[in-house]
Structure 1
Amino acid sequence: MADNPSKALRVILFPLPFQGHINPMIQLANILHSNGFEISILHHQYNSPDPSKNPHFSFHVIPGGLSELQSFQGDTLALFRFLNFDCIGPIRDCLGKLLSTHDHIACMITDANMYNSQAAVEDLGIPRIVLRTTSLCSFLAFATLPVLREKGFYSDDLDSRMEDPVLELPPFRVKDLRAIYIKSLDDTMKSISTIVQGTKTASALIFNTFQDLEEPDLANLREHFPLPTFLIGPFHKFFSAESSSYLTQDRSSISWLDTQELNSVLYVSFGSGATMDQKNAREMAWCLADTKQPFLWVVRPGLVQGSEWLEWLPNEFVEVISQRGYIIKWAPQQEVLSHPSVGGFWTHSGWNSVLESICEGVPMICSSFSGDQHVNSRYVSDAWRLGIKLEKGFEREEMESAIRKIMVDGEGQEIRERALRLKEKIQGFSSQSLNALSDLIVSFKSSRV
């Protein structure tokens, strides 16, 4: 214990049951394990991680309503509310059992959206640390939304000023604020306020990001959230997401990329949760065909509404693209983005994807579907200038223009140079921040002994 004070201390982690939340939590678990901590993973039975991929952890299932979870498609905040109330009892029960069998539990790390877990850990005397699986800038944006609502930014009077900047929240535009809420404005603001307040009650805050990217927002964060904060990303530079993926990766995509020219391929993937209608999917398909740019397109089963996989594609599409395009169900994304033939990434702007693209110096075309994706895409295009945000959804002319700019024109080369300069600053996760986090976790246990 003298050489490594974290040795034999156990940290319990609880992710939300979705790929974009499971991946960073399992990566963080591996990082902490490498620093000497024992790891227990509490997880929902929906989208359960595979214990065989991480045999050095202990896994504990939290039961819950599978049918109810599946009914919340498209209403993320309602789903978060359900999980908070459905899981709180089972979490408390599981923690109680773990405490009865392990003497050295130091703390619990939960997804920030599991705000009700604070009550469970307080009942049992365990400190709670929050992991934000989103960008730091998007967290601040969400925290500011209720204030902006009070200032009238959601009133009908602003309908004619959708392109106007939001001076209180640069680089936002009014339309970005309108895009974030899901169904009911009142419910959205109430949920956001609850999540923000739940974060403030935690003992510490972790972000999967790095200071060179988000330093301008760090001082603002510390002013409004005066609790220990650790930026220890990018997690995936230390541990790959492959061990926590519940989707099967098609490695034939790498063999296909090997046959393509340097920086010539546009990689297209909208993550594990986004959905789109068949009309927009067909517009994308013909856009990819008409630009005559080589592309690798991930069409996940369930991406296109009302279809099993590719039956919505016109019959002539495959003939038109010939050998120039390759379509798969799921890709080893980190390996794809690091491949020398990939010159651009058309993404849904989920934080894991944006961070992986930044780390490989790949310029982005940003579509956004929900939540923090709207914030990430605005920052990529307007603040960090690492890509182009599609402002009109899936309008053919804008999509084709963005592909030309990223893959062919001088503007794309300028973006690529900025991305590569930022890439050079990324050496892996921050060991200094990790050591500080480890010291804090050890102090939790010491204060309870």
Structure 2
Amino acid sequence: MSRAPQPHLAPGLVLLAGLALALPASAPAASGGAGAGRGDRIVLTGIVRDFREVSEYRGHPDFERYPCRGAGHYVKIVDDLLDDEGKPTFRTSGCLVRVEPTDALGRSIIIPKDYIETYSGDAPGAWDCFGDHEDDGEYQGPVSVTGQVNLNPNNNPDHEFALRLPDASTITRDDLHATFEGYDGEAQYAFFRPKGNGNQNGLVFDGVAYELRNGAQYELSAASMHVRIYNDKMRNGRAMGHWWMEVVSASNASLWSSYSNDDQDHSYAHSDYGDSHVCNSVYPGGGAVYSPTSLASWYRDIIGVNVAKNVSISLVRDPDTGVYVFDDRTDPEYAPRGGFFPIDNELYGNSPESAHNFHFTYEVRAKFTHKEDSGRYFTFEGDDDVWLFIDGRLVLDVGGIHGPVAQTIEIDRLTWLEDGKDYELAFFF
């Protein structure tokens, strides 16, 4: 996945596969399955999904969003097992790696897992999960929220608005026209840039007022949220005044903002509120991913959130080592582009003032036949989020916005695999 804030880094992608991959007989090419290995080349076909960055209308909260604990290699963003749909699921907002775990050869490996065999010479590394508001002993858990926001759309991009409902439908700024009847009901998530400062806008967190800034960007999510969208001047069934969003109630809520409200005193039981406010007060971790809902859309086709197309890459066999390699620095298609940019000038288009489209994910699946004691391995190196699952279990964990990070899994460490049987390899970038 490419999602780094400015300045952009080229989404470097190096895959080393010391194993043969094959197309499952039942998987049609259009499904995003892998292409077949043939001699000196393996062609993998996967699905690229394109997203808008967070600052754009209907933008995704994870693109161009900087982790509140800083850039770096994050682990434990996803669960160790794929869900029933074969997709990664949210675990935390990330644990920041302080020391990379390594094997006896000095290669970086995944942090210890009870289903991956440990070898002599392995070093477990170190990582920081931050805990829930570790600097605030008085903090008692997720917050409740009420309040109101002046939306005042008037086709002004400075005052964007989008509300996602439980059925995955949305109400956006474009819906707030003269004949819109308003909304009163449940919601999952709200994105807004309010009109006016604290004298017009404000939310109340656990009974304490929190002022909102004119035009600043906010994202509100909650386990349970009831909102009301209304116009303050209705005449003959037509909206003649300003549109407002009232947060009637929200429990287990979190608010992310584009700034830290350092000028407001939060000593009332949230001594680190400015940090927890930015990091997400519901989900522990370093803020590498916004929420379960945001992560769920990375590898699913969702109308209005992403658009997709199939993209193939070729792993070429190194005649000296027998290892199949894809390296965007030497690949004849991607080296001239300066990196793995498969959808430049396509789908939602390039990033603002850029020659590249940075905001995408890539999902590839393939089959391989396990051979015990074969010395096979899979290595990834790059500067974007990557998770590799074999037989539905996480074996490479390279999350976060970071510089180049490499990680290797030796297939013989996966002792539950049976000799001669076929297994799926699922790669999420």
Name the one with the larger helix percent: 1
TM over 0.5: no
TM class by shorter-chain length? under 0.3
Q: Which has the higher strand share?
A: 2
Q: Greater Rg, structure 1 or structure 2?
A: 2
Tell me the TM-score normalized by structure 1: 0.26
